[in-house]
A and B are shown apart, each in its own frame.
Chain A
Amino acid sequence: MCTYQTETVALQGSGKGVATWFPVTEATVYFDHPQNAPAEHTLNVDFINPARGPSARLAVELTPASARALAEAILASLPPGSDG
């Protein structure tokens, strides 16, 4: 199914797209049909910068288990107090 369920989060950082680095200002996170991954549904994250157009996009399509492992790794990697 096309879920359309999308979480959008504002970000500050950089991402490397096809051509070059660009400032990442948002991420859309959704569980839906992938464009490339060999699965019916994947957890997809698009790191984007809408002000620079749709091509400013760094995309990943992960299996649910991979997505959970990644989320846990991110949280585990952040040292206490690193938010400044």
Chain B
Amino acid sequence: MPHVADALTAETIRISGYGGDEIPAYIAQPVGEGPFGGVVVIHHMPGWDRWSKEVTRRFAASGYLAICPNLHFRAGQGASPEDSAAATRAAGGVPDDQLVGDVDAAARHLRSLPSSNQKLGVIGYCSGGRQSFLAACSLQFEAAVDCYGAGVVGNPPPQYPAAFVPLLGLAPQLSCPLLGLFGADDHFPSPDHVAELDAELTRLGKEHEFHSYEGAVHAFFCVDRPSYRVEAALEGWARVSEFYGRHLSS
């Protein structure tokens, strides 16, 4: 029984993240023996919220082990995810090395599950899009998805925290194929930023496919925000499904 369509279990667990810190992670698993591919979901800047967990469950309902670590947990143990997100933002965001450590912990947890086929993808939205690229350049994955991640290319605005550095120099270390989904009306990343990343990955011979949707702005996947664009989101989800189906299947 490889996978019962739409059947899943979900819960919050603790994993040992960067520096040995215990952090919460929301995990959703398909019903069935597997083997299943896995997906690490990197939440967006507003935090480890309901939408991020809905995305995690969506992957499980589609036959993937899925985990979404709370990247803002350290900002306030016991605080709500919203308050932790605000405190993390005020402190300048999640440091890159901490992000890599936490994603590594989430990936290792998925690989440790008996139903894992040892093939893992990573996906991130908004700030998580940049972090998905960072993780895929720092860790071994089989497929990565960057959803409108700003700050991969181009110098950040002067008000940005000093730690917020462009990632284009890491592109030679990209460990897996990359799917990029962007809004043509987004300003950050702008179409020029997307084109620059596209050109650099092509120059390096890195497998990738980018799609930019007309009429779509930043955060077009978020169903609970005015930025939601139904056509772009439906098309984007179809691209993700095809991409992960190709790279993460047993």
Contacts and interface: CB of A to CB of B under 8 A. Distances in A.
B127 A2 contact: yes
Given A28-B90, A40-B217, A40-B225, A4 B84 contact: no
What's the dominant secondary structure at chain A's contact region?
Answer: loop
A33 B46 contact: yes
A38 B226 contact: yes
B164 A1 contact: no
Interface string A45-58: 01010100111010
B90 A1 contact: no
Contacts of A3: 157, 159
Contact of A1 (B49, B79, B150, B161): B150
B93 interface: yes
B82 interface: yes
Nearest to A40: B227
B76 A4 contact: no
Interface in A41-84: 46, 48, 50, 53-55, 57, 59
Contacts of A57: 83, 86-87
Interface in B189-239: 217-219, 225-227
B84 A54 contact: yes
Interface of B: 44-47, 49, 75-76, 78-80, 82-87, 89-90, 92-93, 126-127, 150, 156-157, 159-161, 164, 186-188, 217-219, 225-227
Interface of A: 1-6, 8, 28, 30, 32-35, 38-40, 46, 48, 50, 53-55, 57, 59
Given A4-B160, A55-B78, 10 more contacts: A1-B188, A2-B93, A4-B89, A4-B92, A5-B157, A28-B90, A46-B86, A54-B76, A54-B87, A59-B82
